[in-house]
Structure 1
Amino acid sequence: MLAAARRSFLIFPVPLRFFSVASATADPTVSYLISTCGLSAAAAARAAPSVRLASPGSTSNADAVLALFRRYGFTEAEITGTVRKLPIVLASHPDKTLQPKLDFLASVGVTTPLFGRLVSLTPVILHRSIEAHLVPLFDFLREVLGSDSNIVTALRHMPYVIRCRPKDTFRAIATFRDVHGISPSQVSKLIALQPGVILQCPDRINEIVQVVENTGVKPANAMFVHIFAILTKMKAPTLEKKFVVFQSFGFDRDDINVMMRRFPAFLTVSEEKLKKIIGFLIGKAELSREDIVRYPETLVRSLDSHCRRCAVLTVLRREGKPVAKHRVPVALKTSKVRFEEMYVLPHHEEVPDVLRAIRGEIPFEGF
């Protein structure tokens, strides 16, 4: 019988990972990380060497760290994220090392729920010096953004800014100011729009500035910061692919530059959506390229929205309503509320089909 059992074991071997997980969870540190901090078994095994509890009962320091986080409003998910990214935080002195950083953030206006999100995304700040990192960083951001409330607003949109080393932020801003002559007020607006710009290296900043200036917009122009902020979100190859899409429909670089000056947000639209929207506007909706250049806002609307609006216009044309004579691109680029106020609400009782059209119940086949 023993021999049969051995043969069975050889035929159906137990995976080695079963033993490794079982032995890992028997480790008091791993068990604590799983049961108390919410880490998975694999994450706990990776984190354990940085924490290393001497025994199952030696958790007083780690318990105090978790209690400190909870006092500052951290959710359990945020605590788990913080420990997973910086497990050594559980071995840190809660009063001498961690609380001073949290107190500093509170003093500049960081409150719940930003507190936990900020730390869980960038827990390394808990091990940065207040005097050498946080104070000079906030002094610099305060100089650029004007107030602590503006800094906190920026951190909500770009929490990773807080881990930037002051010298890196100085280098980025120096590039804006000294190399390209961008005024402090413009720099402030730029960071408010896209805080991540202070993470850009000088070469990347120079590259984006060149693209913006190629559109005919100089740093002194109010539109400069808006175009720059959008371009920081995409790499040069991505931008070039979008230009290729436009060129495939007959647009040239001058057309694209005009659109960038008028409504740079169209650059955020994916290549696939651009193909569909431009194809629809030029094909079924019968817009000209000149119409799209004049009203690039039409490119950010959904295809479904365009179809519904065109269906409404078709119904109004059929009924001979004067409003149907309005130019199609103007009707397509206007806001949803404004469109309904002009083309739907005044006619829905006399022409019920406008309601069906705006609901998508009447397909648009073309004018």
Structure 2
Amino acid sequence: MFCLLRRRLSSVIDPSQIQFLRPISTTPPPPQNPSDQSSTFTVSYLVNSCGLSPESALSASKKVVFKSPSKPDLVLLFLRNHGFSNTQIANLATKRPSLLLAKPELTLLPKLKFLEEVGFSDGEIADFLSKDPTFLCRSLERKIKPSYDYLKSLLGTNGKVAAAIKSSRSSWILHFDLERIIGYKVEILRNHGVPEDNIVKLVTAKTRSLGNNNDRFEELVRNVRKIGIDPSSTQFVKAIYIFSGMNKKTMDSKLRIFRSYGWSEDEIVSAIRNQPLCIDVSEEKLEKGLDFFMNKLKWEPFELAKYSNLLGLSLRKRIIPRWMVIQCLLSKCLIKDAISISRVLKLTEAMFLQKFLVKYKSKAPEILKLYQGKL
């Protein structure tokens, strides 16, 4: 009977589809590869102990493998004891998972102490290292301290060194031979008559502008001088910072916007010379600013070039609300037509409120709502 049943089944079902009729093997599966077990444990640890997503943990497990939780547990305990939040630990583990195998007292602690001595607070240290954990992988004696020594000799105080490191938005400034990388650029600035105070300001607040190669930086300095900005002014180093972070395509696009509103080359140069920040705004903001001042207020290019700093102000939050208040007061003859809108826009918030809103709120009560954008 059983044979007959099998013959009938085989006539309608392919033999490969009747595996279930075969006896189930009782042989145990082969043992899992130890490396696979370690990888699985690593992923699990990164997810459960470090707060990584499964995808990030899987990616990180290709760079580091834990055979037991003992070493990473010590690192996590060390980081938490030094003010690292769960999010900061997750960021650090994502970017540099190998640090979870570091020796806390030998590798990590000296660098935290170094940052503390430079002037970083505990909170700043945790934030800085979670964003750029590469710093913890650098040699303190061969990389970090020599760069620090050069910065200290140039800037003078730990506070300014700390400001320079923070302004670079990463620890790259302490990764390389700084005297070789920015020393030549500092000499270029000195040779062009830039005062030492302004050089210190550039290095302290705009360190990334010195990351260009030497030839490009020298060309940049020459171009800023061609515009006519005085090397002894703070505008000179401000222009260097702005131009160093702008590629040719972006610059050309912004110049085309000026030209589309009828500006001559001399008027554009005049605007940049008066306030380099006018070319640093987004293309959208630049176009809206030009449209408002030239089409709404009917200013000529040469007039706006004198006050090009106004192009950096917010239309929605500052320019239009103040302009509307002034228009309302003019319509009620509470102020004179000769009032300078450029001076009004330059006033601090407190001064504007006192000079126009507080002073005239009884005679024109609607100006407060007008200023707040409710009318």
Scaled to the shorter chain, the TM-score interval is 0.7 to 0.9
Asked if 1:172 corresponds to 2:162, the answer is: no
- Pair 245,24 (structure 1): closer, same or farther in 2 beyond 3 Å: farther
Alignment deviations for residues 121-171 of structure 1 (CA, whole Å, 9 cap, x no partner): 221221211111111011011122211111222333323144543325532
Q: 1:178 to 1:306 in 2, by over 3 A?
A: closer
Deviation at 1:246, TM superposition (A): 0.9
Q: Is the 8 A contact 2:235 2:275 kept in 1?
A: no
Please point out which of 99, 115, 126 is paired with 2:125: 115
Q: 1:163 to 1:154 in 2, by over 3 A?
A: closer
Deviates more, 1:285-294 or 1:36-45: 285-294
What is the match of residue 112 of structure 2?
Answer: 102
Equivalent residue for 1:243? 255
1:85 equivalenced with 2:95 (yes/no): yes
Pairing 1:245-324 to 2, within 5 Å after superposition: 245-304=257-316, 305-324=318-337
- Which segments of 5 or more consecutive residues in structure 2 lack a partner in the other structure? 1-15, 20-35
After the TM superposition, which segments of 4 or more aligned residues of structure 1 sit over 6 Å from their partners?
Answer: 3-6, 23-26
For 1:16-67, what per-residue CA distance to the aligned partner results, in whole angstroms no more than 9, with x for missing partners?
xxxxxxx89981111001100111112111212332122xxx2111111111
Q: Which amino acid aligns with 1:295?
A: Y
Q: Aligned pair in 2 of structure 1 residues 172, 5: CA closer, same or farther (>3 Å)?
A: farther
RMSD: 2.6
**2:144 aligns with one of 130, 134, 142:** 134
**Where do 5+ consecutive residues of structure 1 fail to align?**
7-22, 363-367
Partner of 1:231: 243
Q: 1:92·1:98 contact (CA, 8 Å) conserved in 2? A: yes
1:47 aligns with 2:60: yes
1:192 partner amino acid: T
User: Aligned pair 1:67/2:77, yes or no?
Assistant: yes
Would you say the 8 A contact 1:33–1:44 is kept in 2? yes
After superposition, the C-alpha distances for 1:64-106 in whole angstroms (9 at most, x for unaligned) are: 1111112221111111111111111112222222222222222
SS at match of 1:73: coil
What TM-score, normalized by structure 2, do the two folds share? 0.82
1:6-17 maps to which residues of 2 (within 5 A)? none
Q: Distance in 2 between matches of 1:269 and 1:183?
A: 27
Q: Structure 1: how far apart are the matches of 2:113 and 2:274? A: 45
CA distance in 2, matches of 1:191, 1:164: 13
Contact 1:193 1:229 in 2 (8 A): no
Give the whole-Å Cα distance in 1 for the aligned partners of 2:107 and 2:339.
66
Read off the aligned partner of 1:308 and give its amino acid letter: P
**Distance change >3 Å, CA 187–CA 24, structure 1 → 2:** farther
Whichever residue aligns with residue 338 of structure 2, its letter is K
Which residue in 1 is equivalent to 2:372? 359
The amino acid across from 1:46 in the alignment is S
CA distance in 2, matches of 1:277, 1:127: 46
Residues in 2 aligned to 1:24 and 1:323: alpha-carbon distance in whole angstroms = 82
1:317–1:325: 8 Å Cα contact kept in structure 2? Answer: no
CA gap 1:293/1:229 in 2 versus in 1, 3 angstroms: same
Q: Conserved in 1, the CA contact under 8 Å of 2:82 and 2:122?
A: yes
Instruction: Compute the displacement of 1:201 (Å).
Output: 2.1
Matching residue's letter, 1:209: V
Q: Residue 155 of structure 2 corresponds to which residue in structure 1? A: 145
- Distance in 2 (CA, whole Å) between partners of 1:86 and 1:47 is 8
- Contact 1:172-1:201 within 8 A present in 2 as well: no
The answer to whether the 8 A contact 1:24-1:30 is kept is no
Q: Distance in 1 between matches of 2:85 and 2:259?
A: 49
Matched, 1:325 2:338: yes
Cα displacement (A) at 1:333: 3.8
SS of alignment partner, residue 274 of structure 1: helix
**Aligned equivalent of 1:199:** 211
Determine the C-alpha separation between the residues in 2 that align with 1:102 and 1:242: 44
**8 Å Cα contact 1:37-1:83 kept in structure 2:** yes
Letter of the aligned partner of 2:245 in structure 1? K
Deviates more, 1:130-139 or 1:318-327: 318-327
Indicate the larger mover: 329-338 or 188-197. 329-338
Change in Cα spacing, 1:28 to 1:163, as seen in structure 2 (3 Å) is: farther
Q: TM-score, normalised to structure 1's length? A: 0.84
Tell me the alpha carbon deviations over residues 177-197 of structure 1, each in whole angstroms, 9 at most, x when there is no partner.
Answer: 147624543321111221212
> 8 Å contact 2:38–2:65 — kept in the other structure?
no
Give the C-alpha shift of residue 293 in structure 1: 1.0
227-236 or 129-138, which moves further after superposition? 227-236
